[in-house]
Amino acid sequence: MAKQKENAVGEAPPPSAPEGYTVLARRYRPQTFHDVIGQEPVARALANALKGNRVAHAYLFTGARGVGKTSTARILAKALNCEKGPTETPCGECSICKSIAAGDDVDVLEIDGASNNGVENIRELRGNTQYMPQRARFKIYIIDEVHMLSKGAFNALLKTLEEPPAHVKFIFATTEVEKVPITILSRCQRFDFGGISVPRIVEHLRGIVRREGMEADDDAIELVARRAGGSMRDAQSLLDQLLAFGGERLTSDRVHALLGTAGDDRIVALAEAVLAHDVPKALEMLDDAVVTGLQLGELLDQMIAYWRDLMVVHCAGVDGRDLSVPTRHRETLQRQAKALQLDAVLAGLDILSLAKGQLRNSNHGRTLVEMALVRLGRLENLVALPHLVRLLQQQRGGTMGSTSSMPAAPPEGEKKKALASAPEAPPAAKRELTASNVAELWGQTLAKLPGMLGRMLERGGIPAILAPNGLVLRFPLEYNMAKEHCQDASCIAQVESVLREQTGQPWAFRVESLHSAPSASKMEFKTPNPPPIATPRRNAREDAEKLPLVKRAVEALGASLQRLDEGFGVLPARPANGEEASEEDES
């Protein structure tokens, strides 16, 4: 947000407040464009606009909290109204500059959009714009959190905002620019304020600590800067709180004690226990942390940050990376990251993020954190699913689907290793399947299938031979769930693979439902209808072979027509009385 001049961050005594104590965020507020930290492109653009006399009538500053939006608005107001201006370097000594810096200038009106968001407030503002400023060049309206204005207030502001009097300037600031109507955005010059980097905040905080006559460890200042999340105001407010905590030197332990967070050594040790699958030790460390007053939400945030560090180091290395751990622990972090697979790190991040989301709405926070630690401790090195499928295929000696739809093969080294460990299956002799040996063959097939799939298939009984190399298994209606499970493409592929091993030839296997006849109780009260008159087609097989779709399939696949299902080639029956069939009959 702000950086002081050389004499502001040196050894000079701090500025004295006329009454009482003034917080650091106000005392070290930037006073010129040169003092603005982290927003150099915005400051340069505004300074050049002043230098070239190209100042717009309305500006919109948007960005996160505490990054310098309102401070930059005040600097722009001083640059426009300074007695030595307009200038890109306001003097800061004249009465106008001093009153604007203090926030009580009569011609620079700072308005809170949250509490002045009605149509009446904007109408009053619009009525006052016709009056000339009392002592300065411009009457400047700074509206903070402008997105809080109501729809009617925005509409009332449109015309004045588009064509204001020559002596009026508008400066809007907001943290939620998406809530500002496009009609307002199109009438303003927009500047986006980004978050301030940790090194820039650390540098500024060191200067404040020196000027305040205090001492602070580098780890403590860096911890404060990270805690601020890119907001200079938050960093200054937290530093102000820590300096008031007492003591001549600010240490990282004191920062952790005030924030209720775990020390870096404790986080690294906890991660070490989890990654070593030492769950009892991890739970013991959590218990010690809770007894000392550690906040569980803060612990999860720190663990998420640590696992994020593992991911970044695993992917991009440790040099030049923005990591949450101090420098003395980065060697340990690098060693842990190299020992893990990326999939395991990502799975750990999912576990911690899920626990953090559940913690907000739960009264059992400690249980959730313990569950997360136990899951992390049981998380072994993961193997990608495509590799597992390949290994299963190699061990079965068959295919589990079309090769065109399979994922890419694993690396050559893993492939050779898997082939070396997989047992070689001897080629099976060709074996004919008949009605007399189908039961025996089916029993052998079920014995070689996975347990759950074999038990499901047992409920369908013995399959029927449809045609050469074709089997169908029909499930009774009460086993519909088992039938749906066995109809899965992967289950069908497994059955066909085992059948091929058993017989030495390919098989087509399918699963159907066994439709039972209606019970006597249902037929008792139904008025019998005369049987429909079915008109069979002659030479149904020849007619089927002449169908365009069948001919195209035979030619494309090089196949032959093996059988016709019952009812194929029979025209739909019409009721004897000539009336149209009801919906029940059609179904």
- Per-residue pLDDT tens over the stretch 411-449: 544 444 444 444 444 555 677 777 788 888 888 888 888
Judge if the upstream peptide bond of residue 86 is cis by omega within 30 degrees of 0: yes
Are 128 and 100 found together in one domain?
yes
Find out whether 227 and 205 touch, Cβ atoms under 8 Å: no
Instruction: Please tell me the predicted confidence (pLDDT) of residue 478.
Output: 77
Q: Of 377, 393, 411, which residue sits at a domain end? A: 377
Please check whether residue 158 lies inside any domain of the structure. yes
Please check whether residue 372 lies inside any domain of the structure. yes
Please check whether residue 132 lies inside any domain of the structure. yes
Q: Of 193, 225, 246, which residue sits at a domain end? A: 193
Q: Which residue has the higher pLDDT, 454 or 58?
A: 58
Please check whether residue 58 lies inside any domain of the structure. yes
Please check whether residue 1 lies inside any domain of the structure. no
- Per-residue pLDDT tens over the stretch 75-127: 999 999 999 878 999 988 999 999 999 888 999 999 999 888 889 999 999 98
Are 295 and 373 found together in one domain?
yes
Please check whether residue 16 lies inside any domain of the structure. no
CATH of the domain at 448: 3.30.300.180
Q: How confident is the model at residue 1 (pLDDT cuts 50, 70, 90)?
A: very low
Question: Mean pLDDT, the chain, as a whole number?
Answer: 79
pLDDT at 61 over 90: yes
Are 253 and 274 found together in one domain?
no
Instruction: Please tell me the predicted confidence (pLDDT) of residue 145.
Output: 92
Are 366 and 455 found together in one domain?
no
Are 76 and 186 found together in one domain?
yes
Instruction: Please tell me the predicted confidence (pLDDT) of residue 531.
Output: 47
Are 300 and 246 found together in one domain?
no
Beta-carbon contacts of residue 267 (< 8 Å; ≥ 6 apart): 302, 303, 306, 325
Share of the chain above pLDDT 70, in %: 77
pLDDT at 15 over 60: no
Task: Copy the structure tokens of residue 133.
Answer: 């400023």
CB atoms within 10 A of CB 242: 24
Q: Is the dihedral of CA 243, 248, 254, 255 positive or negative?
A: positive
CATH of the domain at 345: 1.20.272.10
C-alpha angle with apex 486: 481 to 487, nearest 5 degrees? 95
- HEC assignment per residue over 417-463: HHHHHCCCCCCCCCCCCCCCCHHHHHHHHHHHCCHHHHHHHHCCCCC
Are 270 and 254 found together in one domain?
no
Structural domains counted in the chain:
5
Coil, helix or strand at residue 372? helix
pLDDT at 338 over 70: yes
pLDDT at 577 over 80: no
State the residue range of the domain holding 216.
Answer: 198-259
- Per-residue pLDDT tens over the stretch 304-335: 999 999 999 989 887 767 788 877 888 888 88
- Average pLDDT, integer, range 393-413: 48
Are 502 and 439 found together in one domain?
yes
- Average pLDDT, integer, range 50-74: 93
Instruction: Please tell me the predicted confidence (pLDDT) of residue 386.
Output: 59
Beta-carbon contacts of residue 62 (< 8 Å; ≥ 6 apart): 69, 173, 174, 175, 177, 190, 191, 192, 193
Half-sphere exposure of 224 (CA within 13 A, CB side): 33
Torsion of CA 290, 294, 298, 299, to 10 degrees: -50
507 closest CA partner among 565, 428, 392, 568:
428
Q: Of 146, 168, 193, which residue sits at a domain end? A: 193
Alpha-carbon distance values, 497 to 334, 413, 507 (Å): 45, 26, 8
Are 113 and 100 found together in one domain?
yes
Instruction: Please tell me the predicted confidence (pLDDT) of residue 261.
Output: 85
CATH of the domain at 112: 3.40.50.300
Are 448 and 553 found together in one domain?
yes
Please check whether residue 526 lies inside any domain of the structure. no
Find out whether 201 and 235 touch, Cβ atoms under 8 Å: yes
Are 59 and 129 found together in one domain?
yes
pLDDT at 19 over 70: no
Share of the chain above pLDDT 90, in %: 32
Instruction: Please tell me the predicted confidence (pLDDT) of residue 423.
Output: 46
- Per-residue pLDDT tens over the stretch 223-257: 899 888 889 999 999 999 888 877 678 888 888 88
Are 358 and 408 found together in one domain?
no
Please check whether residue 583 lies inside any domain of the structure. no
**Range with the lowest mean pLDDT among 151-160, 362-371, 481-490?**
481-490
